A = this chain, B = another copy of it.
């Protein structure tokens, strides 16, 4: 199939290579940076703009950083909207604003094509191993059309609901991950401040109702002080901005999400925008002028 892929970054590059390796013909955009040789050698069509990519493709996938990037790729000068006719499918795998997503989908549908939002989790490792979790929103037909491509890139693929619902699920995921990190941080810093060994406390709690992937994985990073990402604080800040911005426009208060965002900002004040998000514990430590472990 002819597939356009826009956004060949840390995530997009390995994802697109899986599609090419399965025999699909890619169309990509020549950008500021050169197109990696892998794509050219694999027969990819190198285009001058998203418009040309859309003209040359049946399905156009986007994997770009943020909401304004998606908007520019879709509707900016030389954008997808200029090159898309009827009967094509746009798949946005970026993690962006759910409400803006619904507006983008409406405008693409008005041109006669379909739209699926399909943000991922699993990071660079998941992208390289074709093991991403993919959360999808869109009409059943459109989802079915994209599914064979998703199966080349991910493992845990859920059709959550209508268009935008994939982004909603991704935001919900990032809320829970941030707040579970804060939960473990408050509990372990409390334990250390009260004179107990945080590693022993973590051990006593695993297996009970406090157990979580975050208590397994991130609590260990906190105790061992290994804050290399992983998932960078500045990216989690972007995701919580989506949560808080959407919540504001929907009319909903998310108090603990708001505080977690403030704790990430406190980490940034320490120079931590590039730390793993488990380093949120350092902001809680500062609230008690103490430190987990030595």
- CB-contact partner of A194 in B164, B183, B209, B255, under 8 A: B164
- In Å, the complex CA distance between A259 and B246 comes to 21
Q: From residue A163, how far is it (CB to closest CB) to chain B in Å?
A: 10
Query: Copy number of this protein in the oligomer?
Result: 2
Please indicate the chain B residues that have their CB under 8 angstroms from the CB of A243 in the complex.
190
In chain A, residues 5-45, which have Cβ atoms closer than 8 Å to a Cβ of chain B?
Answer: none
A287 and B254 CA atoms in complex are apart in Å by 8
Measured in the bound complex, the distance between the Cα atoms of B179 and A182 in whole Å is 8
Contacts of A204 in B (CB 8 A): 133, 135, 156, 158, 160, 169, 173
Q: Is the interface of A mostly helix, strand, loop or mixed?
A: helix
Any B CB within 8 A of the CB of A145:
no
What per-residue 1/0 map shows which CB atoms of A89-111 lie under 8 Å from chain B?
A: 00000000011000000000000
Provide the residues of chain B in CB contact with A187, threshold 8 Å: 171-173, 175-176, 179
Considering the chains assembled together, what is the distance between the CA atoms of A251 and B195 in angstroms?
13
Question: Of all chain B residues, which has the CB nearest A176?
Answer: B210
Q: With A191-B169, A288-B252 given, is the CB distance from A208 to B156 under 8 Å?
A: yes
Interface pair A287/B190, CB less than 8 Å apart: no
Bound state CA distance, A188 and B290, in angstroms?
Answer: 34
Contact B99 A194 (CB under 8 A): yes
Instruction: Select the stretch in A61-69, A79-87, A211-219, A221-229 that faces chain B.
Output: A211-219
Interface size grouping (class) on chain A: 35 or more
Q: Is A238 an interface residue (CB 8 A)?
A: no
Tell whether A232 is near chain B: CB-to-CB under 8 Å. Answer: no
Pick the most buried of A186, A188, A252: most chain B CB atoms within 10 A of its CB: A186
Give the chain B neighbours of A182 by CB distance below 8 A.
Answer: 179, 256
Pairwise interchain contact B256-A208, C-beta atoms closer than 8 A = no
Of all A-B residue pairs in the complex, the 9 with the closest CB atoms, nearest first, are: A179-B183, A212-B212, A252-B288, A158-B204, A176-B210, A172-B187, A253-B287, A168-B196, A165-B196
Residues of A at under 8 Å CB distance from B? 98-99, 121-122, 133, 135, 137, 156, 158, 160-162, 164-165, 168-169, 171-173, 175-180, 182-184, 186-191, 193-197, 200-201, 203-205, 207-215, 217, 243, 246-247, 250-257, 259-260, 263, 284, 287-290
